[in-house]
Amino acid sequence: MISKSIAKAAIEALNILNRASSVSDIYNAIIEYKLYEFGARDPKSVVRITLERHCINKTIGVMHQKRFFKKLNDGRYALMSNIKSES
């Protein structure tokens, strides 16, 4: 099922992967499971920027009010609901 937003597609991808994952792994799951249709020239960058904007522990120029992810020290992203088992 195609999500209406990249953030929701990333949440679904991380739930499918069931572990903290890299941008590439999240992007590949989004494509494999047809969670979102990208129109961008560089969709992996779009996924990375979306993850960053929704991260609890990041501060970039334009942050989203809703935070779903945490960026781990090794560069992987985890869902906030799974952080205790991934840190």
Q: Write the pLDDT tens digit of every residue in 39-69.
A: 989 999 999 999 999 998 876 666 667 889 9
Q: How far is Cα 17 from Cα 59, in angstroms, rounded to an integer?
A: 26
Instruction: Give the predicted TM-score (pTM) of the model.
Output: 0.86
Q: How far is Cα 76 from Cα 66, in angstroms, rounded to an integer?
A: 19
Q: Give the highest mean pLDDT range of 8-12, 67-71, 78-82.
A: 8-12
Which distant-in-sequence residues (6+ apart) come within 8 Å of 44 by Cβ?
23, 24, 27
The tokens for 71 are 């960026």
pLDDT reported for residue 85: 44
What are φ and ψ of residue 67, in 5° steps?
-115, 125
